[in-house]
Amino acid sequence: MMPAPQASRRGLFAAGVAAAAAGTVATSAAAQSRSGAKPRQVNDRVKTRDGADIFYKDWGAGQPIVFSHGWPLTSDDWDAQMMFFANNGYRVIAHDRRGHGRSTQTWEGNEMDTYADDLRALVLALELKDAIHVGHSTGGGEVARYLGRHGTDRAARAVLIGAVPPVMVRKDSNPEGLPIEVFDGFRAALMADRAQMFRDVPAGPFYGFNRPGAKVSQGLIDKWWLQGMMGGVKAHYDCIKAFSETDFTEDLRKIDIPVLVMHGDDDQIVPIKASALKAAKLLPKATLKVYPGFDHGMASTHAETINRDILAWLKA
């Protein structure tokens, strides 16, 4: 007698979910036991000096890892890292930058100094100490400006993934940068049809899906689009200038804690020659790790590798 195919598939799926859930609970319990603290499970908001509400997630227990996301995304872009590190004995915190996701869509303040001040407000409100700051792309700039502007009194380490520092735009002191016309094109596309732009970017260069033989994830493209459309167009427009024209050179020189610089050499959004290779030379205590063939969104497309390498560096 042949089994009912649909029932069999549902049974296998249910069994797999149950097993995964059990594994997650067991791992989380082990993490709690190691840290000796009760895991947090908080989604909340922090009020900034100008009255903006910054949405954040605060999960798990242990040494805090604070994640800063890229443009035009949200804290949801860190799903793979939040789950992994919370299950490995860390307290994980990620916020939606102002104008992005569930945070206030402010007209003013969409620039790096204010982003850094908002991050400081979060750190102080949660009374974080010995924190590890992880920033991707624009979030890497936010981390660099935060540590350069506010110091490392509450920070232990930092990780920059596909990050924009020291500066993206081409100028006399940065001939390897991208011409301003590239970023003017971003602004024009944003204003012409933001929804379409937010499909074209992840379907193309962000995850390297435009490369021959690339394994395309429609789900990842849709997730990117959804996160982008949650934010405000004014903040997204202003942030292009913030991530492309801000010079983080002096910030990097001030950072006196160990920093892991991770970058794919096929990053089509933040070319490695103008970013990681220079940043690693400016940082006093840098470890540079280059990933052959990896894309800009490698924390999602190669999450297992990135998570493993960060954890190994933290424990080294």
Question: Does 296 participate in catalysis according to the annotation?
Answer: yes
The residues, ordered by sequence, that sit 6+ positions from 52 with a Cβ below 8 Å of its Cβ are: 98, 103, 104, 106, 109, 118
Catalytic-labelled residue, pool 75, 103, 137, 275: 137
Question: Does 79 participate in catalysis according to the annotation?
Answer: no
Catalytic-labelled residue, pool 267, 275, 295, 300: 267
Query: Cα separation of 310 and 291, whole Å?
Result: 13
Catalytic-labelled residue, pool 133, 236, 296, 302: 296
Query: Cα separation of 291 and 262, whole Å?
Result: 8
CA neighbours within 13 Å on the CB side: how many for 214? 20
Phi, psi of 198 (to 5 degrees): -75, -5
Question: Does 50 participate in catalysis according to the annotation?
Answer: no
DSSP reduced 3-state for 207 = coil
Query: Cα separation of 263 and 283, whole Å?
Result: 15
Other C-beta atoms closer than 10 Å to the C-beta of 188 total 11
The DSSP call for residue 257 is: S
Tokens coding 9: 């598939």
Catalytic residue numbers, as ranges: 137, 267, 296
